Amino acid sequence: MNDLVRFALVAFFPRVDDLPGLAELGVDEKIEALRRESTFLFWLGIVGGALFFQISPILTVLRPWPAAWLTEEQLDRHAHRLATHPVYLIRQITVLIKLVAGLFWGQSPEIRHHLALPVYGQDPGTRRIEPVVVRPALAPRKPAEGLVKLGKKELSRGRQPGALASGKVA
């Protein structure tokens, strides 16, 4: 099951130029921890989403085989089209996979450093239950060059903000 989940998570966060992809960031340990620490229903949703990701290329790239057999370009198009699919339920299945993948990717020290964000401290392994959790003070930042380049690359692919709302899906 972990390999099935890993494939779907990694497909949404591939390497882009010098920005590392999820596959390069120790995702296997994170998946094992997620499986250990999450509820059965949440894990079942992740596995169901990963299974749907595998069997749905027929809907997105018109290929009647599993996502694991797609080329890199087809896999990228498959992931994007699932995330922007006109059917709400399909987009929601994709959201769960992208949510977990994004958490894993964004908490990684390599990504945070690359995007000029402060690295998270060690997880204390406890829940914060204070009535008001004090937000840490953030230092002023400038736009990260890596994100600017990534945004320009996505725009060149025709993936502009609001494309789903306007009905234009790449």
Across the chain, which has 170 residues, the per-10-residue mean pLDDT values are: 96 91 94 93 96 96 95 94 94 95 94 86 75 78 82 86 55
Judge whether 131 lies within some domain.
Answer: no
Nearest to 9 by CA among 25, 23, 20: 23
Residue numbers of the domain that contains 12:
2-109
User: Total structural domains in the chain?
Assistant: 1
The pLDDT of residue 29 is 94
The pLDDT of residue 167 is 53
Judge whether 125 lies within some domain.
Answer: no
Angle between helices 88-107 and 27-37 (to 10 degrees): 110
